[in-house]
Amino acid sequence: MSTPHAQPAQSLANNREWARRISERDPAFFQSLVAQQSPKYLWIGCSDSRVPANEIVGLMLRASLGLIDNWLRHVQNVRERHEHLISRASGDDDRIDRLCELNVIDQVRHVCNTTIVQDAWRRQQPLAIHGWIYDVHDGLLRDLACLSSGSDEVADAYSRAVELTAAIGPARSD
């Protein structure tokens, strides 16, 4: 029987092994991390371990934030707000896809309205927030046409993306 301390100890051991393998493959890897902390991308994604963000976009993402995708209250709000769009989808899979797409679009709007993003735009710092969705069925990212590069674009980008999602239906193509 494992003690409560066994799992963290194993995680630390696994981390040491990972760091050793990375260092063998690229001896300068960690040095380069220390030398740079100006990532070009911040990837905000779900916490699904099947979806390694750096691999699906073919980049070494230096900043990545995995969010727990079980925000039930928020997802319920999205479902209630867009029930008329979701109910038009054919079949449960398509309705789930539509809900996921609308949730991403909603999250883009929320990120755009955060103080840190608004402050960056106020300073005229070049920053674009994109809404993409990953389909585990084929490994492809799909652009939901939800893009904001300034605070004056957020409302229109949100409305346009919702309209496009309603017009073309779920992004997944089997």
Tell me the longest C-alpha to C-alpha distance in the chain.
Answer: 58
**Which residues is 146 bridged to in the sheet?**
131
Residue 120 has pLDDT above 60, yes or no: yes
Helix residue ranges, H only, 26-147: 29-35, 53-56, 72-81, 83-86, 91-112, 115-122
- Domain 71-174, classified CATH 3.40.50.300, yes or no: no
Pick the residue with more confidence: 61 or 91?
Answer: 91
Q: CB of 130 within 8 A of CB of 147?
A: yes
Gap between the Cα atoms of 43 and 115, Å rounded: 18
For 77-104, the pLDDT digits (tens) are 999 999 999 998 888 889 988 998 999 9
